[in-house]
Structure formats: structure tokens, C-alpha cells
């Protein structure tokens, strides 16, 4: 489809850059805007500053075809998309400064009939209570002479280019005509359903998707703690209960990380703290898991001179992202306890962290326990010969239920047999 229309995308990160490239591919003439000169410079050379499968080739093609370019300031366009980050403040509330600055930066370029879309994750009512007033102050009438909508993204890194096309999109307008205008924009390349709603329902549904997972993971994590007290195998219980056709207990773990599940629920809590009881308790349960893991480690290794081989730093398996990772909290708690640590993560580069990352063999050397904190594929089948040769005690404590141990000489602990750790302490 060749629309011959102009688009300006503000924010060339994990969402803005792939989105810009997809719109360019579908015929829009796209100007990407970023405050980072490196991102701008690279894009104009047809290069990318982030990693994502298939993105490099796509951007190269679109820049070469003249449909995609970048600059530091916005420009006139038919449609503006804002895809800047929403970090959180100390108290976990949303820091809307980037979204507000991005909105203000396009004001000088707005023309009657333009469509403005916010993709950034925002607390409920932000479109109505924060963005619309900025437009009104500039004498626009949102919904009448400018169309305004929220269209949250829901893509998973590694699958962004596929999910941008295939996922259902929720489009919430400040009024019906705004939602329809924004929906027309996404119809350029989205093959999934496009569900049109109000801005506040779109804001809330995005946050509730991630909150649903966070709350359910908290339930699984609480089950682990209850099971530890009552000597129950939590993992077996989850497996058994999930045979029920309408039950889907999630998987427990060392905590919840990443920039979505561990962050988005707070955007609901900040707007309705007294009502968000389950949501805020779930956050507390998930945040308590690093301490719970360390309490189990202390039972396993009462001697704080012991060395622990910590396997996995990222917030989930097979990625290189350490943002909000519970593994980082566990590391610092273990350091505070005084344990010696050998840290190994084949997906993390040395320059991403401010401590030393060992090789597999060095991490194992003289260790008395391998503490698995991430379910990388590399950890599912460990080199057992090295474990037996290098470790002082061949013990594995697997918080992700991902390691398969074959040798009977290696002692395996996980969230399914915490009673055995308790028994050790009593012995």
C-alpha cells in the first residue's frame, strides 16, 4: 500500500525504530527523531544502534529507498507517533518527562487534521489529563482539529518485526473519530485485529496485561513459600493443578524483572493506591523473592567463606537484558553476606556490568554450589564432568526449574524440594 503520506516518529528505541521501518516499508515517508545523535547518524547511514532480528536489513532497505531518515528535531507530518521511554521515579511512579517533552517538541509542526499517537506505556488517564491539555494550551481542539490516540505496543524482543504485524492492536482514541483515524494508520501494515476503544481503556488494558502476569507469578512464588513451610513440592502442585482446564498457575522464580512486568503495575497503583491491594501485594511478594532465595542459600551454605557459582544475570532466559533483573539483587545480597562469588552468564558482555564475569570453568573452580538464576538454554544441560572435577561440592540450586542433572553424584535442589534444604539445616 502506498499512502504517500508523511510520518514523524519521536523516539528511535526498541519500539520506535522497528515501527518507523515498518511504516516506511508500507509506503509512508518516515522521519525518525531522537535526541541521541548516534542513533540519528547511524540510521541515516542505513545502520541500527540496537539489536533485533531482521531489523538491520529492513532499515538498510528503507533508508536506501529514501522512505526512512532521521533527525534530531521533529518535522511536519500527517501523523506523529511518540515512542519514548517512560522510566519510573524513586517511588516507582511514572516519570512522564520524556513523553511530555516529546509532545511539546512536535507542537510547532502540528497542522489541522494531523493524527497524534502515543505508543509509550503511560498511567491510566494520561491522554486525557496530561497530553490533551498540552495540545489545548497550544490552542488545538483534540478530537476535532487534531486527532489524539493511545496505541500501546505489546511486542516481545526477538520477535518484534513479526509481532508488530501479527499481534492484535488496541487503539484508544480521545474520541471515536480519533480512534478511527489512528486505526487507519496502523492498517498500513498490521494484519492482526485492530480493536478500537477509548484512550483510558487502552491505557489500562496494556497495564493490566503485564499486571495479570505479575500477580499470577506472585501467586506461584507465594505457593513456593507456603510449600517450603509445609514440606510440599510446589512444582508438582503447579503441574497437577494445571491439568484443570481453566487453571494456569505460572512458574515461580527468583523474582520478576524486565522493564514491563516489574514496572507497569506501579502505574496503576499510583493512580488508585487504596484500591490496588492485590496488585501492590503481588509486587511485594515478587520483590521479596531475592531475599527468599538468599535465605535458602544460607541454609545450604552456612559457612560464608564458601564460594558460590552464580549462573545467569539477565531478567529472563536467552536475552542480554539485565534491567530490573532479580539476579542483580541476589548478587548484591550474597556479596553483603560475604560469600565468594564466581559469576557466569554467556549472554552478558563484560562492559554491561561493573563486576567481573568469569568463564564457566573459572566460576566452578572450588565452588560449593551453582546457583541458577536464569533459564538460558546453555544451563539446561550443564557439563557435569566439569562440575564434578572443579567444584568443591557438586551442588546445584536451580531457582528456574530448568537444569537437568543426570549424574547421581551431583546434588540437585530446586523450588520443588526445598524440604531437603530444610532437612540439611536440621541435620
Catalytic residues: 206, 260
Min. distance of Cβ 316 from ligand SAJ in angstroms? 4
Give the residue with the Cβ less far from ligand SAJ, 251 or 288: 251
Min. distance of Cβ 284 from ligand SAJ in angstroms? 15
CB burial class (10 A; 0-12, 13-18, 19+) of residue 216?
A: middle
Give the residue with the Cβ less far from ligand SAJ, 179 or 328: 328
Q: Which of 213, 299, 340, 422 lies at the binding interface for ligand SAJ (CB under 6 A)?
A: 213
Q: Which of 260, 279, 310, 372 lies at the binding interface for ligand SAJ (CB under 6 A)?
A: 260
C-alpha distance from residue 380 to each of 214, 282, 403 (Å): 25, 29, 4
Give the residue with the Cβ less far from ligand SAJ, 41 or 209: 209
Which residue in the block uniquely carries the three cell numbers 529472563? Answer: 316
Q: Which of 257, 290, 312, 394 lies at the binding interface for ligand SAJ (CB under 6 A)?
A: 257
Give the residue with the Cβ less far from ligand SAJ, 204 or 260: 260
Are the CB atoms for 268 and 279 separated by under 8 Å?
yes
Q: Does 80 bind ligand SAJ (CB under 6 A)?
A: no
Q: Which of 53, 156, 240, 277 lies at the binding interface for ligand SAJ (CB under 6 A)?
A: 156
Q: What gap in Å lies between CA 263 and CA 259, rounded to an integer?
A: 6
Q: Does 258 bind ligand SAJ (CB under 6 A)?
A: yes
Min. distance of Cβ 289 from ligand SAJ in angstroms? 8
123: left (phi over 0), alpha (psi -120 to 50) or beta: beta
Characterize the bridge pairing of strands 147-150 and 169-173: antiparallel
Q: Which of 68, 217, 223, 391 lies at the binding interface for ligand SAJ (CB under 6 A)?
A: 217
Min. distance of Cβ 352 from ligand SAJ in angstroms? 17
Which residue in the block uniquely carries the three cell numbers 542480554? Answer: 320
C-alpha 191: how far from its chain's center? 24
Which range touches ligand SAJ (CB under 6 A), out of 150-158, 237-245, 291-299, 407-415?
150-158
Size of interface with ligand SAJ, in residues (CB under 6 A): 17
Q: Which of 48, 146, 151, 155 lies at the binding interface for ligand SAJ (CB under 6 A)?
A: 155
Give the residue with the Cβ less far from ligand SAJ, 256 or 370: 256
Characterize the bridge pairing of strands 369-372 and 68-71: unpaired
Q: How far apart are the first and last CA of the chain?
A: 72
- C-alpha cell belonging to residue 17: 525504530
Q: On the CB side of 243, how many CA atoms lie within 13 Å of its CA?
A: 4
- C-alpha cell belonging to residue 209: 496485561
Which residue in the block uniquely carries the three cell numbers 515501527? Answer: 19
- C-alpha cell belonging to residue 320: 542480554
DSSP lists the bridge partners of residue 116 as: 80, 148
DSSP one-letter string for 68-94: EEEESS----SEEEE-----B-TTS-B
Q: Does 250 bind ligand SAJ (CB under 6 A)?
A: yes
Print the binding letters for residues 298-337 with ligand SAJ: x by CB under 6 A, - otherwise.
-----------------xx---------------------
Site for ligand SAJ, residues 183 to 212, rule: CB under 6 A: 209-210
Which range touches ligand SAJ (CB under 6 A), out of 29-37, 151-159, 362-370, 416-424?
151-159
Are the CB atoms for 318 and 347 separated by under 8 Å?
yes
Residue closest to ligand SAJ (Cβ): 260
Which range touches ligand SAJ (CB under 6 A), out of 18-26, 27-35, 249-257, 414-422?
249-257
| Binding site residues, ligand SAJ, CB under 6 A | 154-156, 209-210, 213, 217, 250-251, 253, 256-258, 260-261, 315-316
Amino acid at each position: 500500500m502506498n499512502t504517500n503520506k508523511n510520518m514523524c516518529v519521536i523516539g528511535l528505541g526498541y519500539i520506535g525504530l522497528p515501527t518507523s521501518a515498518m511504516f516506511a516499508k508500507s509506503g509512508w515517508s518516515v522521519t525518525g527523531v531522537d535526541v541521541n545523535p548516534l542513533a540519528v547518524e547511524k540510521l541515516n547511514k542505513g545502520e541500527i544502534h540496537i539489536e533485533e532480528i531482521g531489523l538491520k536489513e529492513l532499515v538498510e532497505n528503507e533508508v536506501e529507498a529514501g522512505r526512512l531518515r532521521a533527525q534530531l528535531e521533529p518535522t511536519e507530518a500527517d501523523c506523529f507517533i511518540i515512542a519514548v521511554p517512560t522510566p519510573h521515579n524513586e517511588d516507582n511512579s511514572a516519570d512522564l518527562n520524556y513523553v511530555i517533552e516529546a509532545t511539546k517538541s512536535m507542537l510547532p509542526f502540528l497542522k489541522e487534521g494531523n493524527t497524534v499517537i502515543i505508543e509509550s506505556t503511560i498511567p491510566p488517564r494520561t491522554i486525557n489529563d496530561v497530553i490533551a491539555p498540552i495540545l489545548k494550551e497550544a490552542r488545538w481542539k483534540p478530537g476535532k482539529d487534531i486527532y489524539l490516540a493511545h496505541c500501546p505496543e505489546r511486542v516481545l524482543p526477538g520477535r518484534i518485526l513479526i509481532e508488530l504485524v501479527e499481534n492484535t492492536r488496541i487503539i484508544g482514541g480521545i474520541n471515536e473519530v480519533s480512534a478511527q483515524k489512528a486505526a487507519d494508520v496502523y492498517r498500513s501494515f498490521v494484519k492482526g485485529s485492530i480493536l478500537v476503544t477509548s484512550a483510558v481503556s487502552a491505557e489500562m488494558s496494556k497495564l493490566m496485561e503485564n499486571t495479570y502476569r505479575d500477580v499470577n507469578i506472585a501467586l506461584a512464588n507465594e505457593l513456593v513459600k507456603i510449600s517450603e513451610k509445609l514440606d510440599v513440592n510446589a512444582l508438582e502442585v503447579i503441574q497437577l493443578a494445571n491439568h484443570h482446564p481453566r487453571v494456569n498457575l505460572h512458574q515461580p522464580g527468583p523474582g520478576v524483572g524486565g522493564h514491563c512486568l516489574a514496572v507497569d503495575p506501579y502505574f496503576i497503583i499510583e493512580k488508585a493506591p487504596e484500591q490496588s491491594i492485590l496488585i501492590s501485594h503481588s509486587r511485594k511478594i515478587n520483590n521479596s523473592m531475592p531475599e527468599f532465595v538468599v535465605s535458602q542459600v544460607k541454609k545450604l551454605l552456612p559457612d560464608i567463606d564458601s564460594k558460590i557459582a552464580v549462573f545467569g544475570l539477565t531478567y529472563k532466559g536467552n536475552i542480554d537484558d539485565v534491567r530490573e533483573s532479580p539476579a542483580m539483587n541476589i548478587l548484591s545480597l550474597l556479596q553483603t553476606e560475604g560469600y565468594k562469588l564466581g559469576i557466569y552468564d554467556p549472554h552478558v558482555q563484560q562492559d554491561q556490568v561493573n563486576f567481573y564475569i568469569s568463564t564457566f570453568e573459572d566460576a566452578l573452580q572450588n565452588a560449593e554450589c551453582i546457583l541458577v538464576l536464569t533459564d538460558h538454554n546453555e544451563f539446561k544441560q550443564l557439563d557435569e564432568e566439569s562440575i564434578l572435577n572443579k567444584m568443591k561440592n557438586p551442588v546445584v540450586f536451580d531457582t528456574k526449574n530448568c537444569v537437568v542433572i543426570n549424574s547421581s553424584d551431583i546434588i540437585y535442589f530446586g523450588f520443588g524440594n526445598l524440604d531437603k534444604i530444610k532437612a540439611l539445616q536440621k541435620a
